[in-house]
Amino acid sequence: MSDHVRRAASADARGPIARSPIAPAPPVAAVAGWEVSARRSDADLTVTDLTPLAKVQVKAPWDGALAGTLGGPFGRAERSASFEDAEGDDEDVLVVGSGPGEWLALGSPGTAPDLVERLERLAARLPNPEFVTVVDLTHGRALIRIAGERTPDLLAKVCGIDLGETVTPNGAAFRSSVARLAVDVVRYDRDGTRSYLLHCERSSGQYLFDALLDAGGEFGAEIDGFVEPGLS
């Protein structure tokens, strides 16, 4: 265990520390029991490890009642109204229509159990029962965000999909080869800045992170650490 990892681990004595497959760039901090990079970058193009986000998969009939409740049809990502609290505040849950009859809900770090429970409750409340399963994939996926106006240029070096407005507007979600890896890509612009979420199997997280940094080197890409709640 490296020194900076030890420091991060000891910083949170409440329980075991959770680690992303992507080695955190120092300095390291702890967020919701996860070891994260606290590095800050003001570069125009940044790469951030968002693996600590809660990631919950839902499978249900693609044309069923839950599909309508969740929002986020296949190929689109939306903040779902189902996750607003009583006051209508947004609870930072992004629902990605990642496949026909398949959704991925992304939430703040540490909220996976709650998210699973709420999704199961949503399914249970359906007027007509549907075959629905909810699986926590938080530990099974690496999640990376790239942000900046040159992100399409970066992605164009590793991915063959047309990233233009017509084909992949904000909110578009697709699965494709990225640096020869099967990756789910979500266009997730924030505050007018182009941004993408990329998630893959956890075991290839470091590889994908390195490939993105390498591809972005030409455009001055830098690592930007994790800032709560993750999906700003």
Partner 1 sequence: MSMRLGPQPGEVLDRTRPFTFTWNGREVPAYQGDTIASALAAAGVRVFSRSLKYHRPRGLLTASFHDPGCIVQVDDEPNVRGAHRLARPGMRVRSQNTWPSLNFDVKAINQLAGRFLSAGFYYKTFIRPRWLWPTYERVLRRFANGGEVPPEAAGDYYDKRYAHPEVLVAGGGPAGMAAALAAADAGASVLLVEEEHQLGGHLCWGDEADLAALRGLSERVAAAPGIEVLCDSAVLGRYEGNWIAVVQRTVPGVAERLVKVRAGTLVVASGLIERPYVFAGNDIPGVMLSTAVRRLINLYAVKPGERAVVLTGNGDGDAAVADLKRAGVTVAHIADARLGDDIVRAHGRGRLRSVELPDGRRVDCDLLVTATGWTAPAALLTMAGDRPVYDPRAARYFPDPARLPEDVLAAGGIAGDGSLDELLAHADAVGAEAARRATGAGDGPVPIPTLPVDAHPALFRGRTHGIVDFCEDVSSTDLVQAVEEGYRSVELVKRYTTVTMGPTQGKLEAVNAVAIVAEATGRSIGETGTTTWRPPYVPVTLGALAGRVFEPVRYSPMQPWHEAHGATPLVAGAWIRPDHYGDPHAEARTVRGDVGIIDVTPIGKLDLRGPDVPKLLNLLYVNKWSKLDVGRVRYGVMCADDGVVLDDGVTGHLGPDHYLMSTTSSGAATVWEWVENWLQTQHPDWQVHVTPLTTAYASMNVAGPRSRELLERVTEGVDLAGEAFPYMNVRTGRVCGVDDCVLWRIGFTGELSYELHIPAAYGLHVWETLMERGHDLGIAPFGVEAQRILRLEKGHLIVGQDTDGLTRGFSAGLDWAIKLDKDDFVGKPELAWQQEAGEYPRLVGLQPLDGSVVPEEACQIVDPPRRADRRPRIVGRVTSSRMSPILGRSICLAQVDAHLAAPGTQVTVRLPDGRHIPARVTDHLAHFDPTGDRLRV
84 vs 162, which CB is nearer to partner 1?
Answer: 162
Cα–Cα dist 96/137, whole Å:
14
Question: x-or-dash pattern for partner 1, window 19-58, by CB under 8 A?
Answer: xxx-x----------x----------------x-----x-
Interface with partner 1 in residues 142-171 (CB under 8 A): 153, 156-164, 167
Secondary structure (DSSP) of 39-77: -----SSEEEE-TTSEEEEEE--TTSHHHHHH---TTBE
Interface pick for partner 1 out of 73, 126, 201, 219 (rule CB under 8 A): 201
Q: Which is nearer to partner 1, 55 or 76 (CB)?
A: 55
User: Does the CA dihedral 222-191-163-172 come out positive or negative?
Assistant: positive
Given 41, 69, 170, 206, the residue binding partner 1 (CB under 8 A): 206
* Residues touching partner 1, count (CB under 8 A): 46
- What single string gives the DSSP state of each residue in 126-178? -SS----EEEE-TTTEEEEEEESTTHHHHHHTTB-S--STTTS-TTBEEEEEE
Q: Is 127 in the site for partner 1 (CB under 8 A)?
A: no
Q: Determine the interface stretch with partner 1 among 67-75, 76-84, 86-94, 135-143 (rule: CB under 8 A).
A: 135-143
Residues from 64 through 123 that contact partner 1 (CB under 8 A): none
Buried b (16+ CB within 10 A) or exposed e, 35-67: bbbbbebeeebbbbbbbbbbbbbbbbeeebbbb
Residue 197 phi, psi (nearest 5): -105, 135
Smallest separation, CB 132 to partner 1 (Å): 9
Q: Could you list the residues that contact partner 1 (CB under 8 A)?
A: 1-2, 9, 15-21, 23, 34, 51, 57, 59, 131, 133, 135, 137-141, 153, 156-164, 167, 179-181, 201-204, 206-208, 211, 218
